[in-house]
Structure 1
Amino acid sequence: MIKKVRVEDAIGKPLLHDITAIKKDGFKGVLFKRGHVIGEDDIERLKDIGKDNIYVGSLDKGLVHEEDAIGEVAHDLAGENVSLSGVSEGKISFISDIDGLFEINREELNKLNERGIYTFASLKSYTQVKKGEILAGGRIVPLYTSENEVAYINAISKEYGPCFRVRAYKNLRVGVIITGNEIYYGRIKDMFEPVIREKLKDYDHELLEITKSPDDINILEAKARDLLDKGCDLLVFSGGMSVDPDDLTPSVIKKLSDDFIIQGLPVQPGNMLTVGRANKAYLVGVPGASIHAKFTSFDIFLPRIFAGIELKKSDFTEMGEGGLLKR
């Protein structure tokens, strides 16, 4: 049975849970661990952090302590390239083992949180993360819960599998076609090549070729087919993405795609991004905004392509909320 007692009456008794201290020097952490036997010297330290009463005793049958409750479910929720911290103050952290792309099962996460006993807070899905970065934290709200609540969470993880994973980036063979008569015939200087080189530098890739094409649909298609025949995994097109008569890139992507995914999405800048798939190769038409804007729709989806995530139309159309990007 759990009892609330005055700290003066708790001498010689073990603490039922970690005691957290918040001090004026900025310290926030564990002052006393669960199981610590309270001594006379501890009384003033407890009072200094506002603890005039504490819990002592033991849990009744069928109840699970906060640390045990999170510890018993966390392992099955940690997927590929995710490790666990130790449990402290009733909390556990999910930590990335690698540099990669964090991915969550959103439906599962909602299920885990819906009853209000367990809480799991994570980074947004598809966040780029570094090795050692904390991805998510889990704990229960009360000091203890029932065995039934633990079983409920275990049943969810059994149904859905791990909730959190980090995908490693793949090595991709990349081709780039820069379109436009004004660039092909040297009327203006191309500004896209340094931009795409900068965006690719953080990923393991082989740049097969950067080539230029006039606004001629047959030439553009022939150059694209040539790069696909060379084993391109990602074919990036720049230019010709708007609605003018000379803007031919979307038509070529549609023609070459076995699975044409989308033309235009609710993201600005980068509204006219066009994406298709030819066999296993992604064909991506990048709007002109990428030349001037540091972060566009292209930057949202490039990490997903390198992480080997299969893109669906719904991945793009759901971007409206939050799709107005800060410049």
Structure 2
Amino acid sequence: MKMIKVEDAIGTMLSHDVTQIIPGKFKGRAFKKGHIIRAEDIEKLLSIGKDNVYVWEPKEGELHENDAAKRISDLVVGEGVDTAEEIKEGKIDFFAARDGLLKIDKENLFKLNSLGEIIVSTLHNNTPIKKGEKIGATRVIPLIIDENKIIEAEEVIKNSIISVKEITPKKVVVITTGNELYYGRIKDAFLPIIEKKLNEYGSSVLNKIILPDDKDRINLEIKKAIEEGADMIICTGGMSVDPDDVTPNAIKECGAKLVVYGSPVLPGAMFLLAYHEDMPILGVPSCAMYSKRTVLDLVLPRLLADEKLTLNDIVAYGHGGLCLDCNICNFPHCSFGK
């Protein structure tokens, strides 16, 4: 790469994108890499502070920022991710190729960004994503980078870092408990909320049962739902530690393996998760009726993406597990659960 005065650059080829900034109005590319400079370009180049331009003179063992970014992109992108067709100012953007759950290999992302001169930026791991949504980007810092740096990255990173996991529709049985509901004293507020959240991910309620606070009857209906082929069971109501709240014990005694009862998430502390083989059984606390977002919003997309959550997965939500109940909810693009 050779630097020459703008006035002497007519007929030469730009080796990099030239950015123009108009404060408060515009920031973007004024001239594209590969542009052949014309006489009429000189005035504009000078007006944006370019007294000199750089002409690309390839040398063995060196890579232009665009070529390096393409190799990094090929290294980090996995299933369910599209890359921008055009490289702008040495940067490649990544987009979701489908609706799903964003998965980031945080350990390898840290390793890659620790190498120096290479950056990859992403949204948070486990963020529910819509097709076409921007989820990350990469670029190298210098205009020209030693190819050995890229080779080092390719040797360190053996698996993709960014992917979008597919969420598949599920048949869900909802079991709502409470004497006040069973005897018609109040209207069930749980079901419309659960249905709405399931519908966001293409799933639906297969069956809905309202039961009194009767451990044996709850246990029986859970077993029945299992036998009839439900993909997931969500139990609502009766999840606190009051003596007449029997839902947790009913779940524990149905033959399922308990993962956790109690989560470091607010709202959602009294959340329960168990598995009957690979089928999740959830105990959802009453906060789901009146809070916009709760622990259910954090675990549901992961379960619908067929992740089998562990105690460690739930415990990890303590960092970021406080919902601020903002007047305008921007979930999932907020701090909750991150």
> For 1:106-121, what aligned pairs fall within 5 Å after superposition?
106-121=106-121
Higher mean Cα deviation, 308-317 or 137-146? 308-317
Offset at residue 55 of structure 1 (A): 2.1
Assess if the C-alpha contact under 8 Å between 1:233 and 1:281 holds in 2: yes
Assess if the C-alpha contact under 8 Å between 1:253 and 1:275 holds in 2: no
Q: CA separation in 2, counterparts of 1:44 and 1:269?
A: 60
Q: Secondary structure at the match of 1:41?
A: helix
> For 1:2-41, what aligned pairs fall within 5 Å after superposition?
2-23=1-22, 26-41=25-40
Q: Secondary structure at the match of 1:290?
A: helix
Residue number in structure 1 paired with 2:250? 252
Residue number in structure 2 paired with 1:65? 64
Q: CA separation in 1, counterparts of 2:252 and 2:141?
A: 51
Q: What amino acid maps onto 2:144 in structure 1?
A: Y
Residue number in structure 2 paired with 1:228? 226
Residue number in structure 2 paired with 1:141? 141
Q: Secondary structure at the match of 1:244?
A: coil
Residue number in structure 2 paired with 1:276? 274
Q: CA separation in 1, counterparts of 2:156 and 2:221?
A: 49
Cα deviations by residue, 1:20-45 (Å, 9 ceiling, x for unpaired): 12235733322111122222211111
> For 1:193-212, what aligned pairs fall within 5 Å after superposition?
193-212=191-210
Q: CA separation in 2, counterparts of 1:120 and 1:266?
A: 30
Assess if the C-alpha contact under 8 Å between 2:13 and 2:35 holds in 1: yes
Cα deviations by residue, 1:49-80 (Å, 9 ceiling, x for unpaired): 12122222424321111101011231232211
Aligned residue pairs total 324
Cα deviations by residue, 1:281-305 (Å, 9 ceiling, x for unpaired): 1100111001000110101111111
Q: What amino acid maps onto 2:119 in structure 1?
A: T
Residue number in structure 2 paired with 1:180? 178
Q: CA separation in 1, counterparts of 2:45 and 2:252?
A: 69
Unpaired stretches in structure 1, ≥5 consecutive residues: none
Q: CA separation in 2, counterparts of 1:78 and 1:259?
A: 36
Higher mean Cα deviation, 7-16 or 20-29? 20-29
Offset at residue 258 of structure 1 (A): 4.2
% identity of equivalent residues = 39
Q: CA separation in 2, counterparts of 1:126 and 1:133?
A: 14
Q: CA separation in 2, counterparts of 1:205 and 1:62?
A: 52
Assess if the C-alpha contact under 8 Å between 2:66 and 2:87 holds in 1: yes
Cα deviations by residue, 1:74-120 (Å, 9 ceiling, x for unpaired): 12322111111132210001111112211111111111111221111
TM-score, L = length of structure 2: 0.91
Q: Secondary structure at the match of 1:15?
A: coil
Q: CA separation in 2, counterparts of 1:257 and 1:221?
A: 9
Residue number in structure 2 paired with 1:46? 45
Higher mean Cα deviation, 280-289 or 27-36? 27-36
